[in-house]
Amino acid sequence: MEAFDVIRWTTRGLISSTCRPTVIGLENVPKEGPFIVAPNHLSFLDSVIVQALMPRRWASLPRPSISPPKASKAAR
């Protein structure tokens, strides 16, 4: 078992014991291939909760306005 899976299962247990998130449409997530997740964000923890509750690994693409700024030429 990879470290990611251990962290995900630990987080999943913690989330399930402290709150009751509602997840709709997990049966539509394909076993393989690409898919789109469109959660309604209510807090900064939503991305952690969604990642923990998904049946398989996925990567998120944050919108540019919340990405860290690019390094300046002076910093290079």
Domain assignment present for 74: no
Q: Which pLDDT band holds residue 26 (cuts at 50, 70, 90)?
A: confident
Burial annotation 11-35 (CB, 10 A radius, 16+ → b, else e): eeeebeeeeeeeeeeeeeeeeeeee
Domain assignment present for 70: no
Residue 69 has pLDDT above 70, yes or no: no
Domain assignment present for 34: yes
Question: Which range is least confidently modeled, 4-8, 57-61, 63-67?
Answer: 63-67
Domain assignment present for 72: no
Mean pLDDT of 56-65: 71
Domain assignment present for 71: no
Range of the domain at 8: 3-60
Domain assignment present for 47: yes
> How many structural domains is the chain composed of?
1
User: In the numeric block, which tokens belong to residue 14?
Assistant: 């913690």
User: In the numeric block, which tokens belong to residue 10?
Assistant: 């630990």
User: In the numeric block, which tokens belong to residue 30?
Assistant: 């394909």
Angstrom distance (rounded) from CA 3 to CA 39: 25
Domain assignment present for 7: yes
Task: Compute the Cα dihedral for 40, 46, 52, 36 and give only its sign.
Answer: positive
